[in-house]
Chain A
Amino acid sequence: MVNKTNDFWVFVETNEDGSAKNVGIELLTPGRELADKQEGKLVAVVIGHNTEAAVEAASKHGADQVLVVDGPEYQSYSTDAYAIALTALVEKYAPRAMMIGATNNGRDLGPRVACRLETGLTADCTALAIDEETGKVAWTRPAFGGNLMATILCPECYPQIGTVRPGVFKKGEETEAKAEVIKEDIHVSEEKIRTKILEVIREMDEDKVDLENAEIIVSGGRGVGGPEGFEPVRELAKVLGATVGASRAAVDSGWISHAHQVGQTGKTVAPKLYIACGISGAIQHQAGMSGSDCIVAINKDPDAPIFDIADYGIVGDLFEVLPILTEEIKKSRA
């Protein structure tokens, strides 16, 4: 490997249409700060097919340089193709550190690449800083179901790698594109890709559960009492243009699918508004949503721990509160 640079990399994951996933653009925000502190370049790494939109988005959100690997073999994510391409880039350019969004694909790719490069990886970070004593990246992440936070360093190996949760950092303002775009010709032959997508079953649009990118989430827990109890939750979500979430209790009871689950064994979310209905707020649930900008709790039990983290709380029956709230919102928008 060439001598290590001071550059900070952000892996910008792409969708199948070549656009950037939000988290990659979000990570350019802390990436800019860390790169400046260490006097390095901020480099966005885009792997995908027909990636013009992703390259442009990265250029307009603070990247000094964009490294692009484009080819039909990258249109759909595969561990093998992406790991080969990303490893080759790291070996050629030797960045100091690399951030990867902690999406399903990011958490599939990160450990594979870190292991191939024999370096350290810190998973699911929620805070980033430069450690003053060592000058290394201080990666902070939750463990033990959110009961404990740990700050991890990777003192001797390069690049220092971390996956970072979506929604933790905010996308920066768009600026004029100024990045130098470098296309790297890396191709992976078919026989090196040892998996094949045989079938794609997409959720229907109305059932789509994109919790990670939702601006508003209305969630139901044990207090909704049954599958039909999600009706008022859905009604409210509909008028707000929100996504429906759920606690583990509701999912385990079979009232709603796991794709809706927020919390340690579900999704980690950070919407502008999170409305928890009939959710007690166990630490495992809080681990998945405490980063929300504004939390509203509606629960019959005045001692429910959810009230400890809520900005606004109503002690009351969700079946009484939600229809009134929904009606008020409808009126205001009529």
Chain B
Amino acid sequence: MKMLVCVKQVPDTTEIKIDPVKNTLIRDGVPSILNPFDGYALEAAARIKDADPSSTITVLSMGPEQAKAVLKESLAIAADKAYLVSGREFGGSDTLCTSYIISEAIKEIEKTEGKFDIIFCGKQAIDGDTAQVGPGIAEHLDYPQVTYGLEASVEDGLVKVKKETEDGVQVIGIQTPCVLTFTKPSFDPRYPTIKRKMAANRANIPVLAFADLVDLDPNKIGLKNSPTRVKKTFVPQKKTGGMKIAEETVEDSAKKLFTLLSDSHVI
């Protein structure tokens, strides 16, 4: 299988704090990480390669030069080759434009690497949380998709995906080429080895700029061609804490809680 994994560099949202005076996000000093869901997608691809070592894994990211860090991390974990799509022309693109740019980049990369059978994405990125770019790529390429993937395997040439649903799990067979997006599985993704880490640090990562995407329509990218606009952002109002129950004994507190809940008809 020829596999491509799309990865994004994101701020670690667990480390984001709110400036209590200005009521804005403090982004300074927040570490950048590989989007965890993309890590699960990479692991899913790596497992297919474990089963069939003739498979290849290429990783692709869109972002500034610094995003090479997550590509190197992906190379250290499991990928064979990496590409970065980068250019100020792409700035301000919403999910529709971003998925279009990535689909064009994939077509460009396929000119040298050959056609990919499976394109892997994380379910969503933890900064934007939209879950729209994976299906957007699939639509631009006119590929079938499975979202909320947990694991993927290839049996007799058929790609099978375990998908999380609201009431359990489905196993879905999907034609190739296809796009699969991944959520959190029950296992942990692998760690890179020292040897792979060293090789990844030395890796040369080709950059695809605006001019390299020769078939790209410039009227379909960037802020001005994005159908959605951010009207405003604000820090959500914190609900102020309610009543602390602190009776003399834990038993009394628990009983009081019961009385309060039943009196207000919550239970």
A301 on the interface (CB 8 Å rule)?
no
A64 on the interface (CB 8 Å rule)?
no
Do the beta carbons of A112 and B135 come within 8 Å of each other? yes
Q: Mark B161-195, 1 if CB is under 8 A from A, else 0.
A: 00011111111111100100000101000000000
A313 vs B254: C-alpha distance when bound (angstroms):
10
A119 vs B139: C-alpha distance when bound (angstroms):
13
Known contacts A119-B227, A148-B235, A152-B229; A309/B267 CB under 8 A = no
B111 on the interface (CB 8 Å rule)?
no
Which A residues from 240 to 283 make CB contacts under 8 A with B? 240, 257-259, 264-265, 272-273, 282-283
A-B contact pairs, 21 of them (CB 8 A): A79-B144, A107-B131, A107-B147, A110-B135, A121-B228, A123-B131, A143-B128, A154-B229, A155-B229, A195-B146, A195-B172, A208-B167, A257-B186, A258-B164, A273-B267, A284-B14, A296-B257, A310-B241, A311-B243, A324-B250, A328-B258
Which B residues from 218 to 243 make CB contacts under 8 A with A? 226-236, 238-243
Do the beta carbons of B167 and A315 come within 8 Å of each other? no
Which B residues from 129 to 169 make CB contacts under 8 A with A? 129-136, 138-140, 144-148, 160, 164-169
A138 on the interface (CB 8 Å rule)?
yes
Known contacts A115-B135, A272-B266, A325-B257; A195/B174 CB under 8 A = yes
Chain B residues whose CB sits within 8 angstroms of the CB of A311 once the complex forms: 242-243
A219 on the interface (CB 8 Å rule)?
no
How many A-B residue pairs have C-beta atoms within 8 angstroms? Tell me.
244
Q: Is the interface of B mostly helix, strand, loop or mixed?
A: mixed
Do the beta carbons of B255 and A328 come within 8 Å of each other? yes
- Residue of B18, B144, B260 most packed against chain A (CB within 10 A): B144
A252 vs B227: C-alpha distance when bound (angstroms):
38
What is the interface size of chain B, counting residues whose CB is below 8 A from a CB of the partner?
79
A92 vs B121: C-alpha distance when bound (angstroms):
33
Which residues of B line the A interface, CB within 8 A? 11, 13-14, 16, 18, 25, 36, 94-96, 99, 126-136, 138-140, 144-148, 160, 164-175, 178, 184, 186, 226-236, 238-246, 250-251, 253-255, 257-258, 260-262, 264, 266-267
Do the beta carbons of B126 and A324 come within 8 Å of each other? no
| Minimum CB distance partner of A121 in chain B | B132
Min Cβ gap B117→A in Å is 14
Of all A-B residue pairs in the complex, the 9 with the closest CB atoms, nearest first, are: A120-B227, A194-B144, A120-B228, A145-B13, A324-B254, A311-B242, A111-B132, A111-B135, A115-B139
A124 vs B95: C-alpha distance when bound (angstroms):
14
Min Cβ gap B31→A in Å is 14
Known contacts A111-B132, A142-B129, A147-B16; A314/B233 CB under 8 A = no
Do the beta carbons of B172 and A144 come within 8 Å of each other? no
Do the beta carbons of A156 and B231 come within 8 Å of each other? no
A257 vs B129: C-alpha distance when bound (angstroms):
22
Chain B residues whose CB sits within 8 angstroms of the CB of A108 once the complex forms: 135, 145, 147-148
Residues of A in contact with B, size category: 35 or more
A121 vs B234: C-alpha distance when bound (angstroms):
20
Min Cβ gap B204→A in Å is 33
Do the beta carbons of B266 and A198 come within 8 Å of each other? no
Chain B residues whose CB sits within 8 angstroms of the CB of A316 once the complex forms: 250, 253-254
Which A residues from 284 to 321 make CB contacts under 8 A with B? 284, 290, 293-296, 307-317, 320-321
Choose from B25, B160, B262 the contact partner of A147 (Cβ within 8 Å).
B25
| Minimum CB distance partner of B17 in chain A | A147
Chain B residues whose CB sits within 8 angstroms of the CB of A88 once the complex forms: none
Do the beta carbons of A240 and B267 come within 8 Å of each other? yes
